[in-house]
Structure 1
Amino acid sequence: MSPPLTQVFVYGTLMPGERNAHVAQRGGSFSAQPATLRGYRLFHLNPENYPGLTPGTEADAVRGYTLTYTPAHWEQALSFLDRLEGLHETPALYTREQVQVRHDDGKFSDTWVYVYARPERLNAPGVQFIESGDWHEAKARDQHGEDHR
């Protein structure tokens, strides 16, 4: 039996230094490591002011961080993260899926990621495709907003 997966890939407001990083910290002790997720596309939603990640092509990649929690803190962390990501809303805002990321040190690991679950919103005004896959490059991104997602 393999150990539980206690790692999540974050690419927006939960990244270190961003406005919802404190939500990730509520879950307990973790380490953050820069990583890339291939095969996914990144969008910035406005006026919501947060990103949405969706499946893309093999050429697409998203930059972010893996947050690796201790097994003792994982269930608590998951509760805070799922709530922030609207996993249990009707309809859900995001779904949680298992993927593989490549860390900047070249190593690969399995992790969870939150995938945007409302694709119809991506065709509406105020949505910006972020070709670089780095949410820091989104136009009109506000780092100082309140915890509103």
Structure 2
Amino acid sequence: MRYPFFVYGTLRPGERNHDLFLRGRTESEAPGRLRGALLYEGPGYPYAVEELGGAGGVVSGELVTALPEAYDELLAVLDELEEYAPGDPCNLYERVAREVTCADGAAVLAWVYVAAPAVAARLRARGKLIEGGDWHA
């Protein structure tokens, strides 16, 4: 599926990876919110961690729609940036399709890179939570 991407860290506008990876490859970028996840600090970038059995957390970010002609390249580039490979137990992130709420209240499915299970467990146990779910704040 060719879903948009929900970005919440270094790929957001104004952050270091936005211009490196997204400039010239996007059709639109708009604010969005991912419910059912919490945001934790990582080593220079954040991790979205899906909540277990709850949906109280919210992560703020941007919903990025790729240019149709750039989609496959952008997907490959973002998978590489996030060190994601399907089925690899060493992944730091997993790419999952999740519902993201747009500023107008509409909900869309988007690709989201969330902390892989082992990373998520470690962060839940002793990670530093980013209060409010917004890395910019």
Q: Same fold (TM over 0.5)?
A: yes
Residue 4 (structure 2) aligns with? 7
Q: Distance in 2 between matches of 1:94 and 1:43?
A: 13
Contact 1:27 1:76 in 2 (8 A): no
Q: Return the structure number with greater helix share.
A: 2
Q: Report the alpha carbon displacement of residue 23 of structure 1 after superposing the two structures with TM.
A: 3.4
Q: Distance in 1 between matches of 2:3 and 2:20?
A: 16
1:1-149 aligned within 5 A: 4-25=1-22, 28-45=25-42, 48-56=43-51, 57-88=54-85, 91-117=90-116, 118-122=119-123, 123-124=125-126, 127-137=127-137
What is the root-mean-square deviation in Å for CA atoms of aligned residues? 1.8
Q: Distance in 2 between matches of 1:97 and 1:120?
A: 17
TM-score using structure 1 length? 0.79
- Deviation track 1:15-42 (CA, whole Å, cap 9, x = no partner) reads 0110110233267233111001100111
Contact 1:93 1:116 in 2 (8 A): yes
Closer, same or farther: CA 77–27 of 1 in aligned 2, 3 Å? farther
Identity of aligned residues (%): 38
Question: Which segments of 5 or more consecutive residues in structure 2 lack a partner in the other structure?
Answer: none
Contact 1:38 1:60 in 2 (8 A): yes
Q: Distance in 2 between matches of 1:97 and 1:23?
A: 23
Contact 1:94 1:115 in 2 (8 A): yes
Question: Which segments of 5 or more consecutive residues in structure 1 lack a partner in the other structure?
Answer: 138-149
- Deviation track 1:16-73 (CA, whole Å, cap 9, x = no partner) reads 110110233267233111001100111012xx11100111121111100010012221
Q: Which runs of 4+ in 1 moved over 3 A?
A: none
TM-score using structure 2 length? 0.86
How many matched pairs? Answer: 130
**What is the DSSP-based 3-state SS (H/G/I as helix, E as strand, rest coil) of the residue aligned with 1:132?**
helix
